[in-house]
Amino acid sequence: MWLPNEAWRPGCRLWEPAPWSDPGTVVKQEDAYTSCTTAKEITCQEIAVPLCKGIGYNYYYMPNQFNHDTQDEAGLEVHQFWPLVEIQCSPDLKFSLCSMYTPICLEDYKKPLPPCRSVCNPDTLCMDYNRTDSTTVSPVLSKPTNHPGKGYNPSKTKPSRPGAPGKYKPPAAPCEPGCKCLEPMVPVNTDRHPLYNRVKTGQITNCAMPCHNPYFTHDERAFTAFWIGLWSVLCFVSTFATVATFLIDMERFKYPERPIIFLSACYMFVSIGYIVRLIAGHEKVACNREFDMEHIHYETTGPALCTVVFLLIYFFGMASSIWWVILSLTWFLAAGMKWGNEAIASYSQYFHLAAWLIPSMKSIAVLALSSVDGDSVAGICYVGNQNLDNLRGFVLAPLVIIYS
């Protein structure tokens, strides 16, 4: 977008005509906006403006395009539109206002991230109220801003004459024009790469997920690792105590309560899988480095550490689900059908056959089909993290069948 008779003044004051500009002087808004953000480094802060809490993002940066330096200034001005938001005159109004007064800020992306032009169109937002109400959004949304249109690509867009209408052709391919694999995603550029033409992120082929989830900040990832590690250790301690008590005096625990012991043993091994990830580290378990690029594991059977973590979590996790069903069955036979301990124990071999054979067959199938992949959040290896069909076939469908 080109703006006549306007330029960028020191201090990042937006949309103020420059006194030295001559009539007909043209200044590109995108360049001006970039100059502002580089003049004062973007620092993400948590949103405290009541209107914009829970809007879909939690962090903002200042100054915004109205030259507000604090949330108090932005809040005082944006809250004049509260009545229009409350009556829901437009589903996009709240997001449009908040994206301008409290701009979106990402910890790992230190550049402005404006909303799409179609969302902030003053001609469609609260159109009826713009004609009748004195408190309207048109003057605010009509301010020159850098809302990109569909298919916009800064590296390929040529400046147009002031006042010339911009037209965007619809995309001819499944991926929109200019759509390509950019950081923090990992591009697969060579046919020598084992993932070449095998991996896809969204509509972009040869684009792999990075080792760490890009949608979480560093602090959030650290908290996730701490939280998983904490509960893994607590789970291991409690289940180990249960299993150790059983091993000391096995005759003391009979059916129908004996499945609790095997259930605890399954959870103990699941917790060991997470503890192995905690000790070895996220990168050693869930990630792979090839051609100096680190990405998450995709449909693999190795390395050994990844396979071990997968077996501990998947095999014993599925076995625990079956032992839950067996526990419910034995309690029903004892309490509802009045079966004795010996009568229930006579079927114990069938209980063990179902509890260990079914997860074994599924684990072998997953490994044979090379369906193990990495989890960029938890840092473990499992099945179905990167492939929805594997998730449905090896996780969701078996659990539905077991619990139904």
3-state secondary structure of 381: strand
> Do both 222 and 204 map to the same domain?
no
User: pTM of the predicted model, to two decimals?
Assistant: 0.58
Query: What pLDDT, on the 0 to 100 scale, is given for residue 25?
Result: 40
Cβ atoms of residues 205 and 213 within 8 Å: no
> Do both 252 and 352 map to the same domain?
yes
> Is residue 152 one of the residues assigned to a domain?
no
> Do both 227 and 121 map to the same domain?
no
Query: What pLDDT, on the 0 to 100 scale, is given for residue 239?
Result: 97
Nearest 5°: phi and psi at 16? -105, 125
- What is the domain count for the chain? 3
> Do both 60 and 135 map to the same domain?
yes
> Is residue 384 one of the residues assigned to a domain?
yes
> Do both 283 and 320 map to the same domain?
yes
Query: What pLDDT, on the 0 to 100 scale, is given for residue 169?
Result: 43
Cβ atoms of residues 89 and 124 within 8 Å: no
> Do both 93 and 237 map to the same domain?
no
For residue 359, is the peptide bond before it cis, meaning its omega torsion is within 30 degrees of 0? no
DSSP summary character for residue 385: S
DSSP summary character for residue 88: T
Domain that holds residue 82: 2-141
**What CATH number corresponds to the domain at position 90?**
1.10.2000.10
> Do both 231 and 360 map to the same domain?
yes
> Do both 7 and 100 map to the same domain?
yes
Single out the residue of 128, 144, 146, 148 nearest to residue 136, CA to CA.
128
Q: Which amino acid is present at 138?
A: S
Single out the residue of 62, 76, 74, 66 nearest to residue 15, CA to CA.
66
> Is residue 151 one of the residues assigned to a domain?
no
Query: What pLDDT, on the 0 to 100 scale, is given for residue 59?
Result: 86
DSSP string covering 106-170: BTTB-S--PPPTTTT-TTTTTHHHHHH-SS-SHHHHTS------TT--TTTPPP--TTPPP--PP
Q: What share of the chain is helix, strand, coil (3-state, %, to 5)?
A: 45, 10, 45
> Is residue 50 one of the residues assigned to a domain?
yes
> Is residue 379 one of the residues assigned to a domain?
yes
> Do both 202 and 338 map to the same domain?
no
> Is residue 225 one of the residues assigned to a domain?
yes
**What CATH number corresponds to the domain at position 300?**
1.20.1070.10
Q: With a cut of 70, which residues of the chain have pLDDT below it?
A: 1-42, 110, 117-178, 301
Query: What pLDDT, on the 0 to 100 scale, is given for residue 402?
Result: 93
> Do both 129 and 176 map to the same domain?
no
Cβ atoms of residues 98 and 52 within 8 Å: yes
